[in-house]
Amino acid sequence: MRTGLSERMPQRPPSVSVEPLEAEYRPRAAVDVFGAIRYQQRGAHDPSQTTVDGVIWRATRTPEGLATIAIRPGLRTVRAAAWGPGAAWTLDQLPRLCGADDDPAEFDASRHPLIEAVHRRRPDLRIGATDLVFDALASSIFEQKVTGLQAFGAWRWILTHYGEAAPGPTPRPMHAPPADWRMIPSWSWHRAGLEPPQSRTIVDAGRRRASIERAAAAATTGDDRDRVFMSLPGVGIWTSAETRIRAFGDPDAVSFGDYHVAHQVGYALTGSRVDDDGMRELLEPWKGQRQRVIRLIWASGVVEPRGGPRLAPEDHRNR
């Protein structure tokens, strides 16, 4: 329901004349809103999402236009203010972003003592959804086969140079993703540090953006969405799964092919590393809820000890 919260949100500078739309969302049960939304942030310096003084700020390009939303989670109530042409859309979508449609009621945590213990300790864990299919797909493509440092740096560079400035009193300059990814020239992708296979995949997908978004929204299962995304050259199972998680909050999507996930799942559940096939076998009893199991493993704090040097990313750009 709409409510006044101007005294609770960061104040607008005098130069900003447009009043925000405001709303609040009351979850039916306790929800870790920060955790549900944090997965959408691409690194500490993401131009499209940040958290300042307990307020989550997001700059997005919605189906109704550009928007900035400021979200203040509370004990029982989530309050939000939004600016820009897409403000109403972001406020209507806020419950799904916070994980309102992620229902763990049927989840059977008793199959493993670690999962059972963490699930009991963290009943507030939810998987949020943005409903912004193409931006989720593009950000996932950025992260193909590179380190997080490289991917997040490229994302930051492209959004800063080709995204659109966020409306409203953002705590620092913020940018929504580009309106048309196809308009970014090849040398800019290179300057950002993104490899040609990834940039070509994003540009090629941009030519089919409308049909991709329609087909993915109409699909009713994860397998159907995999078929939509993986019909694109350069998009495999990892990218499809990440897109399903980010855009739809899919509780079953598993990022097979990830450098770390299989090792972490294997170590948490068995004490030893496994490969993708081993992870698939371990997660099979939770089919339909496999992403939830992975989130619970992350929340457990159980981490495989590091046994070797960190990967040093290569930079082929001319300086």
Helix ranges (DSSP H) in the chain: 33-38, 87-97, 113-121, 133-142, 148-162, 186-192, 196-206, 209-218, 222-230, 237-248, 261-270, 276-283, 290-300
Q: Is residue 43 a contact partner of residue 26, using CB atoms and an 8 Å limit? A: no
The residue type at 143 = E
When pLDDT is averaged across residues 171-197 and rounded to a whole number, the result is 95
User: What integer pLDDT is reported at residue 2 of this predicted model?
Assistant: 44
Domain range annotation of the chain:
21-106
Adjacent-strand bridge partners of 73: 78
Q: Look at residue 220 and tell me whether its pLDDT is greater than 80.
A: yes
The torsion defined by the Cα of 294, 295, 298 and 299, in degrees rounded to 10, comes to -140
User: What integer pLDDT is reported at residue 309 of this predicted model?
Assistant: 53
Helix ranges (DSSP H) in 98-254: 113-121, 133-142, 148-162, 186-192, 196-206, 209-218, 222-230, 237-248
Helix axes 196-206 and 209-218, enclosed angle (nearest 10): 80
When pLDDT is averaged across residues 224-230 and rounded to a whole number, the result is 98
Q: Is the pTM of this model over 0.95?
A: no
The residue type at 204 = D
The torsion defined by the Cα of 192, 162, 69 and 135, in degrees rounded to 10, comes to -70
304: buried, middle or exposed (CB in 10 Å: 19+, 13-18, 0-12)? middle
- Taking only the tens place, the pLDDT of each residue in 129-149 is 999 999 999 999 999 988 888
Adjacent-strand bridge partners of 176: 164
Pick the CATH number of 21-106 from 1.10.1200.10, 3.30.450.20, 3.40.50.1370, 3.30.310.20: 3.30.310.20
- Report d(CA 124, CA 295) in Å as an integer: 12
**CA atoms lying within 13 Å on the CB side of residue 268:** 27
Q: Is residue 237 a contact partner of residue 211, using CB atoms and an 8 Å limit? A: no
- What tokens were used for 102? 């992620």
- Taking only the tens place, the pLDDT of each residue in 56-112 is 999 999 999 999 999 999 989 999 999 999 999 999 999 999 999 999 998 999 999
- Report d(CA 189, CA 161) in Å as an integer: 11
End-to-end CA distance of the chain: 52
For the ranges 130-134, 188-192, 255-259, which has the lowest average pLDDT? 255-259
Q: pLDDT averaged over the chain?
A: 91
The candidate with the shortest Cα–Cα distance to 148, out of 300, 299, 252, 46, is 46
